[in-house]
A and B are shown apart, each in its own frame.
Chain A
Amino acid sequence: TQLLEQSPQFLSIQEGENLTVYCNSSSVFSSLQWYRQEPGEGPVLLVTVVTGGEVKKLKRLTFQFGDARKDSSLHITAAQPGDTGLYLCAGAWTSGTYKYIFGTGTRLKVLA
């Protein structure tokens, strides 16, 4: 059972469009990370959110952590072909366990 569900699973959009990817769980996380993975490579960390309601921006990417720390979203403004890849969220629980799980993934393709 995957505890972190991402939606949509696949997304194909035109260059210049905006999009939002969601990461949802019934568990409360102490922090949540977003990664991007290119074919043949391991995931690379984009951002960490820690506080409920926190918003972080990375150029055209905006990340938000839900108030209850159970969900997160990634919004991309004016998508570019270079944004193409697999986007993964990952959650770390509060103290007591070092378990670290990943979401189901969103595969994004941005067409020129």
Chain B
Amino acid sequence: NAGVTQTPKFQVLKTGQSMTLQCAQDMNHNSMYWYRQDPGMGLRLIYYSASEGTTDKGEVPNGYNVSRLNKREFSLRLESAAPSQTSVYFCASRRQGSDKGAFFGQGTRLTVV
């Protein structure tokens, strides 16, 4: 019963490099989300996906792209990493229904040097 699984857990990139953060959930949830969390702060929404095949921008989408590969998987891509993208990234999934809470992965700690 894994819940939400994120890979990798840690990553160091050089400015300008690209990478993809992977996320998979096994709870059959329709909605999936990517957030970033900067030190001591709340979570800011990057992108979300209401269902397979759909994606929408959140509060801070610039510099990121996403793919909802299937119902289980939702990936986040940094095409050209910048130091401002140093953060902890969380993937979450949520059952549809406005009163439902979200389940989170363990996070990916990304440093861009």
Report A's interface with B, CB cutoff 8 A: 1-2, 4, 6, 30-31, 33, 35, 40-45, 48, 50, 88, 90, 92-95, 97-105, 107
Contact = CB atoms under 8 A, between A and B. Distances in A.
A98 B43 contact: no
B25 interface: no
A99 B58 contact: yes
B106 A41 contact: yes
Interface string B32-45: 01010000111111
A102 B43 contact: yes
A14 B53 CA distance: 50
A2 B45 CA distance: 10
Interface of B: 4, 31, 33, 35, 40-45, 48, 50, 56, 58-59, 90, 92, 94, 96, 98-107
A105 B104 CA distance: 16
26 contacts: A2-B44, A4-B42, A6-B42, A31-B98, A41-B107, A42-B105, A42-B106, A43-B90, A44-B104, A45-B102, A48-B99, A48-B100, A50-B98, A92-B100, A93-B98, A97-B56, A99-B58, A100-B31, A100-B33, A100-B102, A102-B35, A102-B42, A102-B45, A104-B41, A105-B40, A105-B42
List 10 A-B pairs, minimum CB-CB distance, nearest first: A42-B104, A45-B101, A105-B42, A30-B98, A98-B50, A102-B43, A31-B99, A92-B98, A104-B42, A33-B101
Contacts of A88: 42-43
A98 B90 CA distance: 17
A3 to B, nearest CB: 8
Contacts of A30: 98-99
Contacts of B33: 100
A42 B37 CA distance: 10
B40 A94 contact: no
B48 A99 contact: yes
Nearest to A50: B99
B41 to A, nearest CB: 6
